[in-house]
Structure 1
Amino acid sequence: MSDEPDDVPQMDVPVGMFEDIEDLKAQIASLTTLVKKLAGGDDAEPGETSAEAEETAGGEAAAEDDAEEEWQYPPFILLLDPPEYDDELRALIEWVEGVLVPGYLAEPSADARWCHLWWEHPVAIARLHAVWLAWQELTDPVSCGYTGPSVWHRDHLDPALRELRGSTGPFAGCVKGEHQIDHRLPGLVPSAWSHEN
């Protein structure tokens, strides 16, 4: 006969749950240590914090918020005004001429156009800047692992080059050294951005 009562439910706990519980315990211990440190050490009563610790914590949080906001909105070139626009364009030109042109752009042809004055085409600037922003993020193994460059090629570079170098792209009127920027100027398009209330 068993010593256990008949009404005890069967509890099958997955083994992985014990590891999760241990991880949670370690995180709680770490947070408890951090709270004690911010509260002024082990001598402080629970709930007491020094004014200096509060100021330091508030200052650090504000600095972290500012840093997060800066990175939350990348500096897309079309949204910038001079002199920030000029600085960003200068950096983009350096990247396109130093990395993209020698590494990825073969001789221009009727099927694969390229304009040697590409920075005079606003559509080209916008697309190349977007590709450059993605390149900055996806070529850093720390933030994106080792598959980042492959993702950059597949999702960013290849589609952008198809659009830029295609027969209907921004370089459609630029053929072998001849430059034409007025070939694709659209008429006035109504926009919520251009209308005043």
Structure 2
Amino acid sequence: MADEPEDGPELDVPIGMFEDIEDLKAQIASLTTLVKRLAGGEEGESGEASAEAEEAADEEGAEEEWQYPPFILLLDPPEYDTELRGLIEWVEGVLVPGYLAEPSSDARWCHLWFEHTVAIARLHAVWLSWQELTDPASCGYTGPSVWHRDHLDPALRELRGSSGPFAGCTKGEHQIEHRMPGLVPSAWRHEDA
């Protein structure tokens, strides 16, 4: 774009924000076109333009309705890798410093948590709920309380418990083989090709 400087400062922006901005730009462009059509600013009869604009708005609304974040274990590379990077940033930047005290025999944690499929699955679910429930516009001001009670606390109990995915991992040691089943559904495999 001509308005943006080429040698601007490098900003530390969360991964998903650029996608959100691009989505907003597309929505604004679509709404601008719709307003022009409804106002009769483009060629064609106003009745024709109105019908076309309504159809376009209905189609766009239907598309947006189903654009929910997918569950990470159902993604294939490179989408899986992108989602995992975002999850790692959130876990290491928010969850670990804010909620995880020093690991102990009663509260396990593996510094290589991202190598445990069960941990990835549970933490991704917690992250998706955090994104939704910490936005006052969508859930009001009780969202964070609901997130703690219904999502974070149960997930941490399962992850850090004596039979959780980190059961064989102790301070300084990392064991993953003990938790991996022999057969994994193909949608859950993410091996480098």
Relative to the length of structure 1, the TM-score reads 0.69
Q: Do 2:38 and 2:49's aligned partners in 1 also have CA atoms closer than 8 Å?
A: no
The residue number in structure 1 matching 2:84 is: 89
Pick the structure with greater CA Rg. 1
One of 108, 116, 120 as aligned partner of 1:121? 116
CA distance in 1, matches of 2:182, 2:114: 21
- Is structure 2 residue 60 aligned with structure 1 residue 63? yes
- Name whichever of 166-175 and 56-65 sits farther off: 56-65
User: Mind listing any 5+ residue stretches in structure 1 that lack a counterpart?
Assistant: 1-36, 41-48
Correspondence 1:25-104 to 2 at 5 A? 50-71=47-68, 74-104=69-99
Higher relative contact order (CA 8 A, sep 6+): 2
Which amino acid in structure 2 is aligned with residue 115 of structure 1? C
**Partner SS for 1:145:** helix
Matched residue type, 2:112: L
In the comparison of the two structures, how many residue pairs are matched?
147
Match for residue 152 of structure 2? Answer: 157
SS of the residue 2:67 aligns to? helix
> What is the root-mean-square deviation in Å for CA atoms of aligned residues?
2.3
Inter-partner Cα distance in structure 1 for 2:182 and 2:64 = 40
Q: Deviations over 1:137-177 (max 9, x none)?
A: 00000000000000000000000000000010000010002
In 2, Cα distance between the equivalents of 1:140 and 1:69? 20
Gaps of 5+ in 2: 1-36, 41-45, 189-193
Matched residue SS, 2:66: helix
Structure-2-length-normalised TM-score: 0.71
Q: Deviations over 1:11-68 (max 9, x none)?
A: xxxxxxxxxxxxxxxxxxxxxxxxxx9698xxxxxxxx71111111111111111111
Q: Distance in 2 between matches of 1:38 and 1:164?
A: 54
